Amino acid sequence: MKTILKLLFAFIVCSITVISIPTKAFAAESDIPGVSMTGFEQSYLSLEAYISLKNNLPDTIYSVTYSIEYLKMNNTPMDYEEYTAKVMIPPGRTKRVELPAYGYDSNYEYFKSSRGLGLPLFKVNYKYISSSDINPKAPTADTVNIVNDKANISNQNSDKSSLLSKFPIVSISLLIIILIIGAYIGLYVLVAVMAKHRGRNPAIWILLSLLASPLLIAIILLAIGKSNNSYFQ
């Protein structure tokens, strides 16, 4: 009976151990921040520092907010700053981001970037705050509508401009056509008047103008002079 109880107890202990392993693994995974720091650099007399950020999230992020606590080498806090980086980082990828150098006036140097010059050193504590997977450059529905409206207005204005630019050409063309027709009709009237003043039948000479040219007939009438028949005078 004792053997059975021991076996049963061992089975329960093993079951609890097997069940607790995934739970611990999940807890360990949940401790990983959405965006983690994989590196930090700041050299002597540098105006900029650089932090390497890794996206541990399943989606691409376009901005990340984090804090940096600056510590002395004995872990004494010196300063605290919060930063927001507008940067695109795909899932699982790392991006090197620029931020202002710390303690430039005091010649501070990050301890891992130290050149051994005896300058004051510091180290950092990184803390992830938040991130955004919203692409600020992606067009929204309102933006698309505004762009389409502007395009339609631009097309309408260009159509109006093209019509206005063509209007003077059309007007000049019509004016020239009217002047040509008026001059042509005037030649026929001139032929009729010349024929009548020279005692000749205007209808016959207008008919001859239609068959030939009114300018030619006018020249002929001018050349042959007046008729002795005074019927049409």
For the stretch 79-111, pLDDT in tens is 999 999 999 999 999 999 999 999 888 889 999
Same domain, 108 and 165: no
Domain end residue (candidates: 87, 110, 132)? 132
* Residue 164 sits in the same domain as residue 100: no
Q: Which of 132, 154, 172 is the last residue of a domain?
A: 132
Judge whether 7 lies within some domain.
Answer: no
Count structural domains, the chain: 2
Predicted TM-score of the model (pTM): 0.49
- Give the relative orientation of helices 141-197 and 202-211 as an angle to the nearest 10 degrees: 130
Q: Is residue 20 part of a domain?
A: no
**Alpha-carbon distances, residue 3 vs 13, 17, 59, 63, 95 (angstroms):** 15, 21, 54, 62, 60
CA distance 96 to 86: 12
Task: Read off the pLDDT of residues 45-83 as tens digits, 9 standing for 90 and up.
Answer: 888 999 999 999 999 999 999 999 999 999 999 999 999
Question: Residue 78: how many CB atoms within 10 A of its CB?
Answer: 14
95, 35 Cβ separation under 8 angstroms: no
User: Which amino acid is it at 29?
Assistant: E
- For residues 222 and 168, give the distance between their C-alpha atoms in angstroms, rounded to a whole number: 40
Share of the chain above pLDDT 90, in %: 38
Query: Which residue, chain included where needed, has tokens 């930090």?
Result: 40
In whole angstroms, what is the distance from residue 219 CA to residue 221 CA?
A: 5
Claim to verify: residue 44 and residue 111 sit in the same structural domain: yes
Query: Does residue 24 surpass a pLDDT of 60?
Result: no
11 Cα distance to chain centroid: 66
In a domain, residue 24? The reply is: no
Same structural domain, 98 and 183 = no
Q: Angle of helix 202-211 relative to helix 214-224, nearest 10 degrees?
A: 130
Query: Can you give the pLDDT at residue 197?
Result: 85
In terms of pLDDT, which residue wins out, 212 or 112?
A: 112
| Domain end position, chosen among 87, 113, 132 | 132
Query: Which range of residues forms the domain containing residue 149?
Result: 141-224
3-class SS of residue 74: coil
Residue 232 within any structural domain of the chain: no
CB proximity list for 57: less than 8 A, separation 6 or greater: 34, 35, 91, 131, 133
Residues 145 and 78 in one domain: no
63-71 and 121-132: which strand pairing?
Answer: antiparallel
Do 127 and 188 reside in the same domain of the chain?
A: no
Tell me the backbone φ, ψ of residue 74, rounded to 5 degrees: -95, 15
Co-location of 109 and 69 in the same domain = yes
Residue 18 lies in a domain: no
Among 104-113, 150-159, 171-180, the least confident range? 150-159
